[in-house]
Structure 1
Amino acid sequence: MHVHILRCGEVEIPDVEFSQVSAIPTRQELKSIDAAAAAILPEDPTPSLDEIARQPDVSHLGAPQFAPQPIDDPLRIIVVGNDAALSAVLTRMMRADYMWAEVGYVPASSGGAALASTAAQNWNIPTDVDAAMQLALEGAVRPVPLIRNDTGLAVAGSATVSAWDNGPMMGEIIVDDTTIARGESDQNSPFGARLVPMVDAPGILAATAISPVANPRALGLDVTEDTAETGLLARFKRKFAKTPELGQLDPSSARTGRALQAGGPELRVIVDGVSGKRPVQRSTFYRHLRDLQIIRPE
């Protein structure tokens, strides 16, 4: 087995040989795993993505499958970092079309601080760095659907679609044929939706967001308090005003499906904590034609 360990940023890591890359690895930094994949499988003899898409059945959208490529000495890529780092690596693998490579994930943060990893939670990966590394090195592949969006970004842990200004959303979000969020005015409109990849078909689990999906400061939004009101009562109101809890979801709205589609005047798409650079009017998430060969417990 060929093992490539990527340390993404200044994160805690056990005593193993690794390649140092940025906290969110760049395409240039990931050329080493591109080269390793090309050396192991110079030419893929299995059906191409276009050929799979033209198949009359939808077997590739059923239960996740092991990679069909005939490889005796596999490539295992281990990502040590956060969900955004893992998303960047999966995106590169997907675009270069070597999803047959095995992937291990070690959720880690700088200074040993606690890390909230949705991907680790989804796949039941240990939060202890040493235990996660042992699993990544010695564990077995258990394929899961790979979820991507229409701009070619892979989702490791979660993604959200919301209003660009982080407020109530104008527009509509649909999972397969079911509308889970519709905003027509500022009154009682949802804040968007959040999705997570499933470990089995159909691939996507999504629910309506009933509070802002992200911290506005993290998005670079203006959060200057309105100080027009003065006096003791105004200061009291500002001091004790409740800030909406971020990321609250409506459990009754949860739906599973193969695709999520959103449309609206100014939408923000956030994939694993990284926001798109500009607003969009449409966004689609769907299951990739090849499954993710992730190392995870039974």
Structure 2
Amino acid sequence: MMEVMIVIRCGSAPVPTVLGEHPRVEVSAVPTKEEVTRALSEVGTRRRLVVCGTDAGLSALLTRLMRTENLDVEIAYVADEPTPATRAYGLPTGSEAAKLGVRGSAREVPLVRDDTGTALVGEATVRGPEGGHLVGEAYADDNRVFSGEIDALTVRPTPDLPGVVATAARPRWLRRRPWLAARAVQLGTEAGLLTRDGVTGRRAVKRTTFYRHTEPWRLVSP
């Protein structure tokens, strides 16, 4: 894979020494559509991207690959510290992640997206506005995740089918509900503040859905 790799550095993310000899493209910490398009134009015949950055940067890149129908590109993720995405997919960090990116093999994993066409790589949480409780109901396929009032809804991708899991954190005096696996998780609420891969939306939402895309993506993993 040595001759077909390109490193995409998001913001000021550290780039381990083992990646120093490979071509590199610099983008913002959370790359814009234009930056990702430019980066992909420089990929050429290279079929592996090594992304150094955060979950938000990886999500932005994967979202663009999905929208441009380039999901055959292999992606290696190099985070400096553990993140929800590294935990979800069992990935190493730092120099060990870089070594995996160079020498590892890619496998297909479910691609989880929301109804805005944005990929989810680590974790999404929905809370009530201004720190209050979240009021509404959510379903994981046909199974009810919650109905009523909770502290937060949490959704994560999984490396295996069906692709997504969800749980509801009840008010502290009640026990936490178990994780439910599904192809899709749907939420309806009076008002919810959505944080996706570390980026919080500016406006409250009344509905959101996370579900497995029709095509997988190719992740370099242990």
- Distance in structure 2 (CA, Å) of the matches to 1:202 and 1:274: 25
- Distance in structure 2 (CA, Å) of the matches to 1:149 and 1:80: 24
Q: How does 1:1-298 map to 2 (within 5 A)?
A: 1-15=3-17, 16=20, 17-36=23-42, 39-40=44-45, 75-108=47-80, 115-127=81-93, 129-183=94-148, 189-210=149-170, 250=176, 252-297=177-222
Structure 1 residue 3: deviation in Å? Answer: 1.4
- Distance in structure 1 (CA, Å) of the matches to 2:30 and 2:92: 21
- Distance in structure 2 (CA, Å) of the matches to 1:107 and 1:75: 20
Q: Over residues 30-49 of structure 1, what are the superposed CA-to-partner deviations in whole Å (9 max), with x where a residue is unaligned?
A: 12343256x54xxxxxxxxx
- Distance in structure 2 (CA, Å) of the matches to 1:33 and 1:20: 8
User: In the alignment, residue 267 of structure 1 is paired with which amino acid?
Assistant: G
Quick check: which has more Rg, 1 or 2? 1
TM-score, structure 1 as length reference:
0.68
Percent identical among aligned pairs is 35
- Distance in structure 1 (CA, Å) of the matches to 2:35 and 2:8: 10
**Residues 173 and 192, structure 1, Cα contact 8 Å, conserved in 2:** no
RMSD: 1.9
Q: Over residues 79-137 of structure 1, what are the superposed CA-to-partner deviations in whole Å (9 max), with x where a residue is unaligned?
A: 101111111111111111111100000012xxxxxx3311111222112x111101011
- Distance in structure 2 (CA, Å) of the matches to 1:146 and 1:29: 22
SS of structure 2 residue aligned to 1:29: helix
- Distance in structure 2 (CA, Å) of the matches to 1:31 and 1:271: 22
User: In the alignment, residue 4 of structure 1 is paired with which amino acid?
Assistant: I
User: In the alignment, residue 295 of structure 1 is paired with which amino acid?
Assistant: V
The number of residues matched between the two structures is 215
User: In the alignment, residue 14 of structure 1 is paired with which amino acid?
Assistant: P
TM-score, structure 2 as length reference:
0.90
Q: Which runs of 5+ in 1 are unaligned?
A: 41-73, 109-114, 184-188, 212-243
SS of structure 2 residue aligned to 1:165: helix
SS of structure 1 residue aligned to 2:67: helix
- Distance in structure 1 (CA, Å) of the matches to 2:115 and 2:213: 10
SS of structure 1 residue aligned to 2:214: coil
- Distance in structure 2 (CA, Å) of the matches to 1:131 and 1:293: 19
SS of structure 1 residue aligned to 2:110: coil
Indicate the structure with greater strand content. 2
